[in-house]
Structure 1
């Protein structure tokens, strides 16, 4: 981008689209893993109703928090330009 308010090139728009897609897919995966770890036992085992409800609600709440945090962290990292300076080369600190 040529500064603030400038037009983006097609490559920059494509990179942003790919990054948003990656953020959403990885957030969905992370949220599913957290929900499975926390709420999974309530679905697999015959637990008391109160404990089952508590695990399911906790799993849903934690999954939502993890999902949002993952999307935000990926997009903030992309916005800061944590990309290699030249295509095909890695950063020195990687």
Structure 2
């Protein structure tokens, strides 16, 4: 880990915010898509509850997958850039 510059800390903060916001939008979309049969088919009782539980579960998994994937890619890209910094300049 080591010492990080202010720019590196700011970049991580922005990336976390981006991951969370896009994760929320993805989860909301997945929930609406999965829960649509409740409204379209006018389900009631246990069937509606079951569909909504599945929709919430799938939406939660979509959120976690999106956040994990964005932050994982950011972390890997950050290490690659830091390791290769200065090597691509002529005369280095």
4+ long deviations beyond 2 Å: 43-46
**Which has more radius of gyration?**
2
Q: Aligned residue for 2:56?
A: 60
| Residue ranges of structure 1 left out of the alignment (5+ in a row) | 86-94
Answer 1 or 2: which has greater helix percent.
2
Q: Quote how far apart the aligned CAs of 1:40 are.
A: 3.0
TM-score, normalised by the number of residues in structure 2: 0.77
| Residue ranges of structure 2 left out of the alignment (5+ in a row) | 82-92
Cα deviation code 1:43-89 (max 9, x no counterpart): 5652132221111000000000010010000000000016xx6xxxx
**Number of aligned residue pairs:** 81
Q: Which has the higher contact order (CA 8 A, sep 6+)?
A: 2
TM-score, normalised by the number of residues in structure 1: 0.76
Computed over aligned residues only, the root mean square deviation of the Cα atoms, in angstroms, reads 2.1
